[in-house]
Amino acid sequence: MPERRKAYPTSEELRIWRDFIETTEALRSELSSRMQRESSLSPGDYAVLLALREAEGRRLRSSELAARIGWERSRLSHQIGRMERRGLIRREECVTDSRGAEVVLTPQGAEAFRDASLPHLRDVHELFVNTLTRDQLAAAEQIATALRNGLKVPRDT
């Protein structure tokens, strides 16, 4: 547990914070650009496809999908519409509740996910894993865990 400090960060702590945020944003931006260029998928597309790929039957109710990827339902609704028009997913009536619908991964969506995954994993390895030592990777895990715990965000795995 970190020690409790005064209410405001010091200039040194603010410098570290800014560096952390700017570096994280630069990494995300580079990964996003590469994914878009190599696979024509956006990070949002990939997040939805990943969640569906991991779901039982490769289908989820919209509310559960939104919760899994940490999005508001309105954002997800727009994303689903765009992906549905491209044939990556489809909406089907929920067999257990006629009032609801499920988002289903299509064969085309599964193929797009497969095609994007290897280049994406290669890029993650190149830009993140390869730039850190084993000790730094362990420290990054500890930092991520501490931040998640502070935010009370459940771990995905």
Kindly report, residue by residue over 2-19, the tens digit of the pLDDT: 666 678 999 999 999 999
Does residue 144 form part of some domain? Answer: yes
CA separation, residue 87 to residues 12, 41, 46 (Å): 49, 13, 14
Average pLDDT over residues 21-30: 97
Cα–Cα distance for residue pair 50/35, rounded to 1 Å? 14
Does residue 2 form part of some domain? Answer: no
The pair of three-digit structure tokens given for residue 97, joined into one six-digit string: 């509740």
Q: Is the pLDDT of residue 157 over 50?
A: no
Does residue 70 form part of some domain? Answer: yes
Q: What is the pLDDT of residues 79-131, one digit of tens each?
A: 999 999 999 999 998 877 777 789 999 999 999 999 999 999 999 999 999 99
Q: How far apart are the first and last CA of the chain?
A: 22
Residue 33 is part of which domain span? 11-150
Q: Is the pLDDT of residue 37 over 60?
A: yes
Does residue 1 form part of some domain? Answer: no
CATH at residue 85: 1.10.10.10
> Which among 9, 133, 2, 113 has a CA at the least distance from the CA of 52?
113
Q: Is the pLDDT of residue 1 over 60?
A: no
Does residue 5 form part of some domain? Answer: no
Q: What is the pLDDT of residues 57-83, one digit of tens each?
A: 999 999 899 999 999 988 999 999 999
Average pLDDT over residues 22-30: 97
The per-residue pLDDT for 47 is 96
Q: Into how many domains does the chain fold?
A: 1
